[in-house]
Structure 1
């Protein structure tokens, strides 16, 4: 079948503040296995769903969804930097098709993606430019956010378009499960932080270094049990992953934004990227999914997981 799905968590803290070496080794092993599956599949195109962490998208114009027709990876937290090889005309046609399906989506010819997208491409392909890629941003940290139902419908609309292209499509969802790193919020912020959340593109090197240092310090405090951040929730994580594997994708429609924050933390909304990716796959028909890895990793402030899936007939 012409579609294969890989969903995986990302972390900016890999190499900055790591769990024990055996845990790092098992995460890297699972990543190598995922890359081998991608190599065997040999996609013509990658559709990569990813969040942003106030690096490329800001409150000066915060869309719920955005398709990139041209895109650059900024290289935060030592992730890869450079130009993504986006097929411009295909991305434009995709946006037009999604809008025709009554799903409101923005289109960008100057998209900036951060580690949330770049890390997934590096793990799965070894770089940013191994295959043509269309990045799809899903707002997952800046309220108000679209519902999981809308993320599912976005994925399904993209899936129907991709099925019409005849291309071999690798669909990627990159996001954490339960987690709440120290991402600032607009309401109640100081004027300086509010301005960064509204128009903080292209920060200075000193500003980026300071932000990275704050994240590392927060991870250390979280691991030591000296943190106000939302605890990881393995039970909730596994229930969500089991829901995806069940094939009953419409069940996510009942998960409200308030419940996601309550149970998984403020950044657990990144599960939208997984839901959209599975929505693409579901548009091709019934699927068979495998949970390849799950571990709650406090050093990375993340419920960390990987899954892959293919159409049932291919399995």
Structure 2
């Protein structure tokens, strides 16, 4: 069954702490290209890999991966709140297939997701309910984390599961690239912070507003050069993009979790969502990256990237169709 991919960075600071308008216009153009790519593909199902930022998943139960068979967006940072249009049957089918492949994954009938999922769905499809969706949480914040090699195996299992579906499936990876925003770390945190990371669901409006303002202030300090946060690493980001575009993801297996942090910050682990999405695409055959956008954006505390990709066979078919249409147009021209 046809598959396509769009992987993208997200940032809660988009629209709140923006860079120069020319940069915003550049990013908007890249997103419009991605949306056009998606419209042309016309997906019937979106399978989205995304992290959580201690808004829905906490240390009271912290799985490395979880498939939501029902999910609700908490609406942080102004994203759309409410239930996602989750395809429950597809979610359970994928979960069974992943487990059968030997990759352990949890399932939730009451998943709560944050801007990591909602922003991507809104930017790419217009709404958290625009297209039936299967949300897959990939732990990218809470230590300890699974080895990155397991992410590739997760993606491979999901890709094989969707290959048997009689529908067009869009694979989305939402997160990264290099960045180290002020997300609290459980180990070494104060008892009060640890308690919030164990079960901080349903904060008051005042608590959520204060938390979001701290991140906004951090973004402004980072852009102003007065922050102690770890710098972005464009070299690391571009190396990752090159590996993903190569079609051979096995070199990633040797990358250690500590190396991610040293090179690109704690939240660089969010690229696990990209790795999973690309591995799922690779499970459907050789692929080609159709477009790549990248820019380090300090105001958003993000090495910011957007990529689209298709299986080689699909890309060739699209090229032939385009050439055929061009020939038809030329034939209709008056002599």
TM-score (norm 2): 0.93
**Any unmatched runs of 5+ in structure 2?**
316-335
Partner of 1:270: 270
**1:51 Cα deviation after fit:** 0.5
Partner of 2:53: 53
Partner of 2:288: 288
Report if the CA contact (8 A) 1:245-1:290 is conserved.
no
Partner of 2:12: 12
SS at match of 1:165: coil
SS at match of 1:200: coil
Q: Separation in 2 of the partners of 1:312 and 1:42?
A: 18
Larger Rg: 2
**1:305 Cα deviation after fit:** 0.3
Matched, 1:86 2:86: yes
Matched, 1:96 2:85: no
Report if the CA contact (8 A) 2:19-2:297 is conserved.
yes
Report if the CA contact (8 A) 1:3-1:310 is conserved.
yes
**1:146 Cα deviation after fit:** 1.3
**Any unmatched runs of 5+ in structure 1?**
none
Report if the CA contact (8 A) 1:67-1:108 is conserved.
yes
**1:291 Cα deviation after fit:** 4.3
Q: Which runs of 4+ in 1 moved over 4 A?
A: none
Q: Separation in 1 of the partners of 2:264 and 2:55?
A: 23
Partner of 1:176: 176
Q: Separation in 2 of the partners of 1:221 and 1:264?
A: 19
Question: Pairwise CA RMSD of aligned residues?
Answer: 0.9
What are the superposed Cα offsets for residues 147-175 of structure 1, whole Å, 9 maximum, x if unpaired? 22111100110111111112210000001
Report if the CA contact (8 A) 2:2-2:314 is conserved.
no
> Number of paired residues?
315
With 237-246 and 286-295 compared, the bigger mean Cα shift is at: 286-295
Partner of 1:105: 105
Report if the CA contact (8 A) 2:70-2:109 is conserved.
yes
SS at match of 1:296: strand
Give the 5 Å matches for 1:1-315: 2-315=2-315
With 155-164 and 219-228 compared, the bigger mean Cα shift is at: 219-228
SS at match of 1:12: coil
**1:292 Cα deviation after fit:** 2.2
Q: Separation in 1 of the partners of 2:128 and 2:308?
A: 20
What are the superposed Cα offsets for residues 116-162 of structure 1, whole Å, 9 maximum, x if unpaired? 11111011111111110000000001101112211110011011111
Q: Separation in 2 of the partners of 1:291 and 1:310?
A: 10
Q: Separation in 2 of the partners of 1:296 and 1:156?
A: 29
SS at match of 1:188: coil
With 285-294 and 69-78 compared, the bigger mean Cα shift is at: 285-294
What are the superposed Cα offsets for residues 206-253 of structure 1, whole Å, 9 maximum, x if unpaired? 000000010011111111222221100001100000000011111111
Q: Separation in 2 of the partners of 1:11 and 1:290?
A: 23
Q: Separation in 2 of the partners of 1:206 and 1:118?
A: 21
**1:198 Cα deviation after fit:** 0.5
Report if the CA contact (8 A) 1:179-1:265 is conserved.
yes
